[in-house]
Chain A
Amino acid sequence: MSADFADALLATDGGCPPGLTTWNGSAPEKRFAVYRNNVVVGLIDALADSFPVTQALVGEEFFRAMAREFVRAEPPRSPVLALYGDGFGDFIDRFAPVAALPYLADLARLEYLRILAFHAADASPLTQEALGGVLADEAALPLARFALHPSLFVLASAHAVVSLWAAHQAESDARQLAGLDTTRAESALVCRRELAVEAFRIAPGAACFIAALTRDASLGAAVEQALARDADFDLAATLALLLRAGAIVGITTPRRTQA
């Protein structure tokens, strides 16, 4: 019964699940159609709230039509509406009408990571003293493993997604968009510091390095992977960015743990 009801909510044929009755004898199909419309429009509104830049790039009318297709294909699996849209980026990749906008899927992924970051758990950055303690044991550094903030995500894109996103923020102006080469590859570091979610544009080597750390690679191994990806990888600048973002919340070396 509940599966029939859920299927009928997203059906396009206007049908009504079997067994529905109305208290005043009006047609159940009509009443159900009102409910169906509210459900679908509510989910489209949710996607519009969560993906404002994606919507700005294709226009409201197109976005809502695309979102309607997504709602039918991938209805929410959780009652938490704030996290609806997990698969929206992948859906956009397969959505033929936007094939001319190859950056759109990654832009939606970036917007979704910002929401995940907003709702991620809190964690305190390592103190200067703790960092000093790690640094004091130089020989153990290559095997050090980093615990990064739960709100930290890396997105490597073949398109200029961070610049595109930034150009659509309130503090930006149209000039940023005018000269933008969308085919320039960019990677994003998303991280929340207290209540503010930030998105940084990072070099490909830095993205590779941070992604390796999140997979629990040792510092030495992560640096080697990053250098293999990008000979210009700048370790000091990347670590400084992580420190500034408050993203390093623990470091474990074979001899000690700082957290």
Chain B
Amino acid sequence: MNQTVSAASLALAFGAAMSIAAAPVSAASHGGAMKAETEKCYGVAMKGKNDCKAGAGTSCAGTSKMDHQGNAWSMVPKGTCEKTMSKTSSTGKGQLMEFKEKKA
């Protein structure tokens, strides 16, 4: 076998990978990944604009019946959910969990 890869170099890379993966996510250490960090945000989607990504036939996307429906969610950039206006939410902002709408 063409021994181009030694056990020691594999162990080195493996160990490095574990420390990279354990470090907090920053753009530089993300290893070429491009997915922005997002969070599920309840109560901020406009009527019929909620997300759902389970494929056809299971579709719940676009089914919310009112603006800012409390059990309908959208994926939003991480950290922005609880800063987004929601007129049905008791906090006045989006929430990370489903909630019961207050009267707008």
Instruction: Give me the interface of A with B, judged by CB distance under 8 Å.
Output: 45-50, 80-85, 114-115, 118-119, 128, 131-132, 134-135, 138-142, 162-163, 166, 170-171, 196-203, 206, 219-220, 223-224, 227, 234-244
Given contacts A141-B7, A198-B35, A220-B5, A82 and B57 within 8 Å (CB-CB): yes
Contact of A239 among B4, B13, B34 (CB under 8 A): B13
The answer to whether B10 and A119 have CB atoms under 8 Å apart is no
B85 at the A interface (CB under 8 A)? no
User: Which residues of B are at the interface with A, using a C-beta cutoff of 8 A?
Assistant: 2, 4-8, 10-18, 20-22, 25, 29, 31-36, 38, 51, 53-59, 61, 74-77
Contact of B17 (CB < 8 Å), options: A46, A118, A243: A243
Q: Are B56 and A49 in contact (CB under 8 A)?
A: yes
Among candidates A199, A202, A236, residue contacting B32 with C-beta atoms closer than 8 Å: A202
The closest CB in chain A to the CB of B16 belongs to: A236
A177 to B57, CA, bound (A): 30
> Are B17 and A115 interface neighbours, CB within 8 A?
no
B57–A236 touching, CB < 8 Å: no
Residues of B within 8 Å of A135, CB to CB, are 11, 14-15, 18
Contact indicator A82/B55 (Cβ below 8 Å): yes
Contact assessment for B2 and A139 in the assembled complex, using a CB-CB cutoff below 8 Å: no
| CB-contact partner of B34 in A162, A236, A242, under 8 A | A162
Q: Which residues of A contact B13 (CB under 8 A)?
A: 235-236, 239
Q: Which 7 A-B pairs have the closest CB atoms?
A: A81-B57, A46-B56, A239-B17, A243-B21, A82-B55, A240-B20, A237-B31
Pairs A–B under 8 Å by Cβ, sample size 9 = A49-B57, A82-B55, A119-B55, A171-B75, A171-B77, A198-B35, A202-B32, A224-B4, A227-B4
Max chain B C-beta neighbours (<10 A), residue from A85, A200, A240, A243: A240
The reply to whether A235 and B53 form a contact with Cβ atoms under 8 Å apart is no
Q: Are A49 and B61 in contact (CB under 8 A)?
A: yes
> Contact between B51 and A170 (Cβ–Cβ < 8 Å)?
yes
Contact of A199 among B11, B14, B35, B76 (CB under 8 A): B35
Q: Given A142-B5, A171-B77, A224-B4, verify A236-B17 contact (CB < 8 Å).
A: yes
Tell me which residues across on chain A come within 8 A of B5, comparing CB atoms: 142, 220, 223-224, 227
Which of B6, B32, B38 is within 8 Å of A201, CB to CB? B32
CB contact under 8 A between A243 and B18, given known A82-B57, A114-B53, A223-B10: yes
A241 engages B32 (CB within 8 Å): yes
Q: Choose among B7, B15, B51 the residue that contacts A139 (Cβ–Cβ < 8 A).
A: B7
Neighbour of A82 across the interface among B51, B54, B76, CB < 8 A = B54
Identity of the chain B residue whose Cβ is nearest the Cβ of A199 in the assembled complex: B35
Contacts of B38 in A (CB 8 A): 171, 196
Given contacts A236-B17, A237-B17, A239-B14, contact A118 B55 (CB under 8 A): yes
A82 and B56 form a contact (CB under 8 A): yes
B56 in complex: contacting residue of A81, A139, A206, A236, CB < 8 Å: A81
> Once bound together, how far apart are the Cα atoms of A156 and B11, in whole Å?
27
Which of A46, A47, A227, A240 is within 8 Å of B31, CB to CB? Answer: A240
**Residue pair B75, A170 in contact (C-beta under 8 Å):** yes
Which single residue of chain B is at the shortest CB-CB distance from A195? B40
B61 surroundings in chain A (CB, below 8 A)? 49
Q: How far is the CB of A152 from chain B (nearest CB, A)?
A: 14
CA distance A237 to B20 in the complex (A): 8
